[in-house]
Structure 1
């Protein structure tokens, strides 16, 4: 869960810097890619955690 939150924070930070600083639009693109990767990672963990055997 900590990795997921770290990736989301990184994506937001890169996106904001990419929008605010002129000429650094590539950081916005990297931020979007990191955001999509974080969502994918979160979905994988969510699906995996649903398959625990009942006690």
Structure 2
């Protein structure tokens, strides 16, 4: 369940690029950012031999 909100500060050029990428991927900006952040978190945590908390969540 998604209940938390995260704010991000970006330059206008970064925001434009992120929106363009989300559109290309066929996603909303929010979904695209969450997908990218999750992928980065998995990579970083696994490289550091740390557990990935959201991967251990029960899936339904």
Q: Same fold (TM over 0.5)?
A: no
Instruction: Judging by fraction of residues, say which structure has more helix.
Output: 1
Higher-Rg structure is: 1
How does the TM-score come out when normalised to structure 2? Answer: 0.40
The higher-RCO structure (CA 8 Å, 6+ apart) is 1
How does the TM-score come out when normalised to structure 1? Answer: 0.44
